[in-house]
Structure formats: C-alpha cells, structure tokens
Amino acid sequence: AQSVTQPDIHITVSEGASLELRCNYSYGATPYLFWYVQSPGQGLQLLLKYFSGDTLVQGIKGFEAEFKRSQSSFNLRKPSVHWSDAAEYFCAVGVYSGNTPLVFGKGTRLSVIA
C-alpha cells in the first residue's frame, strides 16, 4: 500500500523568502502525486499534480514541485512567499488501480512572518 511522509509539521518563513516543503512517498510503481492547500475551516484546493513526463510541474499561485524518482520525493517550492500563503499543505499519492483513493500525508503548517 502506498504511504506519504511529510517530515516537517510546522515551518515558519519570512515574507518574500523562498519555500520548500518536503514530501516523500512509498509506492512500488510510478505514483500520481498531488499537492493540496487548506486554509482554516476550508476544504482542500489542488495546487498541482504529477502524472508523467516532465518531472518539474507548475501549479497555481506560483508554486512548483519536482518529482525525483530516485529519492521518492515530490517537494513543493515557491521562490517568494506571500503572507496569504499561510495555510496547511498536504501531499497526496494516488495510483491507477482505479479503485484506490488518495493517501494523504499529515500536512505541513506554513506560517509567514513579516
């Protein structure tokens, strides 16, 4: 069964600084990978997804992520963080079996300071 690890529970960055959120997955084949963002009291919004092809994927709100098969990682990056980026970020893995739902990591809470 697939699994996702987000090693950082909470990260604080200064506004304008760069950001990298880590995600490691466990799955025997090429997975489908997703990053979602959740603001307090809200549902999850899809930031970006990786299925195949180019290992660097671009998403909304200036986010990007890079799939590294050798490291089983799918880290999320943003070159310059805005205060509005403060939220909870979830990495998720899916597979093509057709009958398997997403498996989420426990999330990383991002705080942005002035």
Contact residues for another protein, defined by CB under 8 A: 4, 32, 34, 36, 41-46, 49, 51, 90, 92, 94-107
Q: Which amino acid is at 90?
A: F
Q: Residue 19 forms beta bridges with which residues?
A: 78
Give the β-pairing of 19-21 and 73-78. Answer: antiparallel
Shortest separation between residue 16's beta carbon and another protein, angstroms: 28
CA–CA dist 109, 96 (Å, integer): 29
| Longest CA–CA separation in the chain, Å | 45
Nearer to another protein, 10 or 17 (CB): 10
Nearer to another protein, 1 or 114 (CB): 1
Shortest separation between residue 53's beta carbon and another protein, angstroms: 12
CA–CA dist 89, 67 (Å, integer): 17
Nearer to another protein, 19 or 102 (CB): 102
Nearer to another protein, 44 or 81 (CB): 44
Encoding tokens for residue 88? 């909870």
Shortest separation between residue 76's beta carbon and another protein, angstroms: 14
